[in-house]
Structure 1
Amino acid sequence: MKLYKVIVALLIATTLLLSGCAEQNSEEDMVTEEMGADDMEAEEMNIVETAVAAGSFNTLVTAVQAAGLDETLSGEGPFTVFAPTDEAFAELPEGTLEGLLEDKEALTSVLTYHVVAGEAMSGDLSDMMVLETVQGEEVTIYITDGNVMVNDANVVQADIETSNGVIHVIDKVILPPSMTS
């Protein structure tokens, strides 16, 4: 009887432990699940195909297509893309996204501010590193206690390798300084 109680107690403890771990899914874990790694390796797809397959970058893909940048970001590269999620776009002030979609020049400026020529893996980044974007202005990388930020956006998943570069998922749309002053 004692052995039965010990086994039941172990089963209950294991169940509680596993359910506690499941509840601790971070945004990074959720984005990883959405990346569709089972369907096709991201390394075999280009940046645009990877973003489409992920399912969490619908707004970004729509904006990239509206700006006519989908061919460029599907091209040879390599590129580093700091990719805001759909949730990041939803956090923009009301009317901002709609205004950008109506102004191709401004939209292109914002989108290319999220792209750096070349492949910058997370191991290549350092605190206070300044990178020139394809748009022409610079972003600054901040690293504190293992947390990486691009300007004021958190990197929630790094190093998604594609056939023509790398994607780092960020939790905020970053705007070029020339548009915020």
Structure 2
Amino acid sequence: MANLLETAAKSGDFKILLKAIQATELEDTLDSEGSFTIVAPTDAAFEKLPSAERDALFANIPKLKRIVLYHVVMGNVQAEDLAEIDEAPTMEGSILAVKRANGKIHINDALVDRTDILADNGVIHTIDTVLMPAILEHEYD
């Protein structure tokens, strides 16, 4: 099995997220032996953001790094775990809310499209929205 970054690259759905991981120099962290869960916005999720906002994120590497880390949870949190928990602490330091309704899982306001894309060092769940930590809304204005 491949690691998280190799698995994400093979899927072809995470080009923008992988570009963000590279820009923030988090490859070594997410390539490491630890166990991580990435709540991964697809390229379509990133494309929901206005292009000026996307460009601004890549121009502000500290903010982009916080956003990337907000999508990473320590440990291997699979779909069966998501069905049992109400929140998950992120590597960024904030907490993600996990909600279930009508047979669907939401993380904050994002719909989990696909679960349990397994890798050697963790698992990926795809989401349809880029998550923003609340603390960032005014911190980098």
Match of 1:82 in 2: 39
Q: Secondary structure at the match of 1:159?
A: strand
Match of 2:106 in 1: 149
Match of 1:3 in 2: none
Give the number of the structure whose residues are more often helix, by fraction: 1
User: Scaled by the length of structure 1, what TM-score is found?
Assistant: 0.73
Cα distance in 2 between the residues matched to 1:84 and 1:125: 17
Cα distance in 1 between the residues matched to 2:56 and 2:72: 21
- Structure 1 residue 126 displacement after superposition: 3.4
State which of 126, 130, 134 in structure 1 corresponds to 2:91: 134
Q: 1:159 touches 1:168 (CA, 8 Å); kept in 2? A: yes
Cα distance in 1 between the residues matched to 2:8 and 2:87: 25
- Structure 1 residue 94 displacement after superposition: 3.2
Task: Calculate percent identity across the aligned residue pairs.
Answer: 38
Cα distance in 2 between the residues matched to 1:83 and 1:77: 18
- Structure 1 residue 127 displacement after superposition: 6.4
Larger RCO, structure (CA 8 Å, separation 6 or more): 2
Cα distance in 2 between the residues matched to 1:128 and 1:53: 29
Q: Is residue 58 of structure 1 aligned with residue 19 of structure 2?
A: no
Match of 1:165 in 2: 122
- Which segments of 5 or more consecutive residues in structure 2 lack a partner in the other structure? none
Q: 1:127 touches 1:141 (CA, 8 Å); kept in 2? A: no
Q: 1:79 touches 1:166 (CA, 8 Å); kept in 2? A: yes
Superposition map of 1:54-133 within 5 A = 54-126=11-83, 129-133=86-90
Q: Secondary structure at the match of 1:110?
A: helix
Cα distance in 2 between the residues matched to 1:131 and 1:96: 26
Q: 1:128 touches 1:141 (CA, 8 Å); kept in 2? A: yes
Cα distance in 1 between the residues matched to 2:53 and 2:36: 26
Larger radius of gyration: 1
Cα distance in 2 between the residues matched to 1:146 and 1:54: 25
- Structure 1 residue 128 displacement after superposition: 6.4
Q: 1:82 touches 1:169 (CA, 8 Å); kept in 2? A: yes
Q: Secondary structure at the match of 2:83?
A: coil
Give the number of the structure whose residues are more often strand, by fraction: 2
Aligned length: 138
Which aligned runs of 4 or more in structure 1 are off by greater than 4 angstroms?
A: none
Aligned-CA RMSD value:
1.2
